[in-house]
């Protein structure tokens, strides 16, 4: 671990050069960065609490991580189920480091979240009696997954929330805006956001409270279910502003992505296995019962490692998902998946679907309290970019949309309340930053370096890791980050890459420190969980002048919960 001390971070506090006096200024009570389920819920809650709200979207309101969520939203809605059962399932899957208070808060908010979505016009799938058609996924002991269009739940939830946002008179939406950095006041309090419009103009959003809901960082990996916008921007922005991060080594890999060489990876939802789909190897042997008593409905980390192991043992590029024995017609059950597979000549009722694991969900992130407050005054976080304590070391399927709804709304409500006590602090018009504009002698291939990073992370920080691989990745990432920061031109592609490199560095050093296997973090050199590491990894930025020079890594206690399995 001594090698970690020789890996400087050297990330500038502000990525883009700017002079505050030359920026167009927008003033709001609350600024929300991110427009998926967590960001939209936060914006609606803050506006309903009486705040003026700016909602900054990196792309359009129809292009968010939420849109790509297929499975559904978990909520206790049947008499056979209970809050206690949902909590217990979540704690078991979380492998001993969930925050019980966070789990209970989110689970108890499930029924009300579904009610609000229905009130706003969501159209979920119904059974033959006209009731919500509940399904089951890995780790869940009861049928409690609400879904839409079979496996198009995220699309429907995003449509519903976007419509509610558009109707609210106190929410101003700024689409196709790239949020570059958080702007800090003299005392370190966050007082605004620096952003670039689609016309390339730098603007500042001044606010008493800023909420980050920017989603995850799946684009760190070559194989991923995430959209192109998932580059970890919010987590990197918060870290540069001084926020404490937690558990970035935990990154969940979804076991079943459609794998066709040369084609974009498409998620094959866990709801398919919940309906009876089974996993086969290239010899058409069902293998999951060898790995876990729950077979295909085991937690995602178990299924992902089993798929990876079977691919290695059979020397194949994928495993296969077979739906031929489902009781109902899979074309009717999963029309979206059926349509996508048909493009490649796959009839899901007859043909096994080639699948392999892909990066899916960033479990760690910006450390927040029960209300969504970060360690930096004026800054809040919700959804995938945050670390609320709900997921522990392994997220249970369909808990993330639920978390976004419940904790997004709570952060919005509390931020609006705090905004009444902390009036807006104007951005100092004399604030200016100077950054190198790149070298005229050396040109960096941003696309090539991005692909190299994604390939490195997939090989060395993927499903199975070990100490030498992790440290080698950390060293390469540290070197690349210094080169990009010094030589790349200030533009969105460079900023995205710097954000990705920052998160990759932090995830690697955290993975190197955690010398055990727990949940999604599996080290072949430490294949078992260790009691001493039943704790959170906590990362604190070390600032020197206008640069984040290093990161202090420590352990944070876990609130009382079940033992690790």
Q: What are the residue numbers of the active site?
A: 300
Instruction: Tell me which DSSP letter residue 462 carries.
Output: S
538-544: long-range pairs with CB below 8 Å, 24+: 538/244, 538/245, 538/246, 538/367, 539/239, 539/244, 539/245, 539/246, 539/248, 539/506, 539/509, 539/510, 540/244, 541/239, 541/240, 541/242, 541/243, 543/13, 543/242
Secondary structure (DSSP) of 195-250: EE-TTS-EEEEEEEEEEE-----GGGSSSBSS-TT-S-HHHHHHHHTT--EE-TT-
d(CA 392, CA 369): 14
* Residue 364 per-residue DSSP state: -
The answer to whether 139 and 295 have CB atoms below 8 angstroms apart is: no
And the tokens for 306? 């089993």
Cβ 374 vs Cβ 238: under 8 Å: yes
What is the Cα gyration radius of the chain?
Answer: 22
The answer for residues whose C-beta is within 8 angstroms of residue 403's C-beta and 6 or more apart is 38, 106, 383, 388, 390, 391
C-alpha 41/C-alpha 171 separation (Å) is: 12
Residues linked to residue 209 through DSSP beta bridges, in sequence order? 30
Three-state SS sequence of 384-428? HHEECCCCCCCCCCCHHHHHHHHHHHHHHHHHHHHHHHCCCCCCC
441: its two tokens: 């002698």
The Cα–Cα gap between 300 and 255 comes to 7
3-state secondary structure at position 4: helix
Which residues share a beta bridge with 187? Answer: none
Q: List beta partners, residue 554.
A: 538
């Amino acid at each position: 671990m001594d090698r970690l001390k020789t890996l400087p971070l050297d990330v500038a506090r502000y990525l883009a050069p700017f002079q505050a006096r030359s920026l167009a200024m927008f003033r709001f009570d609350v600024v929300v960065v991110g427009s998926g389920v967590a960001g939209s819920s936060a914006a609606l809650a803050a506006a309903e609490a009486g705040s003026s709200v700016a909602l900054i979207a990196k792309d359009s309101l129809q292009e968010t991580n939420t849109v790509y969520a297929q499975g559904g939203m978990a909520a206790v809605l049947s008499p056979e189920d209970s809050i206690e059962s949902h909590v217990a399932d979540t704690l078991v899957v979380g492998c001993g480091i969930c925050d019980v208070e966070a789990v209970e808060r989110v689970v108890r908010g499930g029924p009300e979240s579904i009610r609000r979505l229905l009130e706003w016009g969501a159209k979920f799938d119904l059974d033959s009696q006209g009731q919500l058609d509940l399904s089951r996924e890995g780790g869940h002991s009861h049928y409690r997954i609400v879904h839409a269009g079979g496996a198009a739940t995220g699309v429907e939830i995003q449509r519903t929330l976007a419509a509610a946002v558009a109707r609210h008179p106190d929410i101003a939406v700024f689409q196709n805006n790239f949020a570059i950095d958080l702007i800090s006041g003299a005392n370190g309090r966050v007082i605004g956001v620096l952003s670039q419009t689609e016309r390339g103009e730098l603007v500042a959003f001044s606010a008493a409270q800023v909420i980050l809901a920017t989603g995850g960082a799946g684009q760190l990996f070559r194989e991923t279910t995430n959209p192109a916008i998932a580059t970890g921007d919010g987590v990197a922005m918060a870290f540069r502003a001084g926020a404490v991060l937690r558990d970035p080594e935990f990154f969940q890999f979804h076991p079943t992505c459609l794998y066709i060489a040369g084609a974009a990876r498409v998620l094959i939802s866990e709801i398919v296995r919940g309906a009876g789909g089974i996993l086969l190897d290239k010899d058409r042997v069902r293998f999951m019962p060898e790995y876990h008593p729950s077979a295909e409905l085991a937690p995602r980390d178990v299924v992902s490692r089993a798929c990876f192991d079977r691919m290695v043992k059979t020397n194949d590029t994928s495993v296969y998902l077979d739906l031929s024995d489902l009781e109902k017609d899979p074309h009717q059950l999963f029309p979206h998946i059926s349509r996508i597979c048909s493009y490649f000549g796959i009839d899901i009722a007859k043909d096994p679907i080639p699948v392999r694991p892909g990066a899916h969900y960033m479990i760690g992130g910006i450390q927040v309290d029960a209300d969504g407050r970060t360690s930096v005054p004026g800054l809040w976080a919700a959804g995938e970019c945050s670390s609320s304590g709900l997921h522990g070391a392994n997220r249970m399927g369909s808990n993330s949309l639920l978390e976004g709804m419940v904790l997004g709304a709570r952060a919005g409500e509390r931020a609006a309340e705090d905004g009444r006590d902390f009036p807006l602090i104007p951005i100092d018009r004399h604030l200016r930053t100077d950054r190198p504009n790149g070298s005229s002698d050396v040109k960096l291939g941003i696309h090539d370096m991005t692909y190299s990073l994604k390939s490195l992370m997939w090989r060395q920080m993927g499903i199975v890791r070990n100490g030498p691989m992790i440290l080698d990745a950390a060293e390469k990432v540290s070197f690349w980050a210094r080169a990009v920061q010094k030589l790349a031109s200030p533009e969105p592609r460079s900023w995205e890459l710097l954000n990705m490199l920052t998160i990759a560095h932090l995830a690697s050093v955290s993975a190197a420190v955690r010398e055990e296997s727990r949940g999604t973090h599996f080290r072949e050199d430490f294949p078992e969980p260790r009691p001493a590491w039943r704790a959170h990894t906590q990362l604190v930025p070390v600032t020197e002048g206008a640069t984040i020079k290093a990161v202090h890594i420590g352990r944070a206690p876990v609130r009382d919960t079940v033992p690790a399995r």
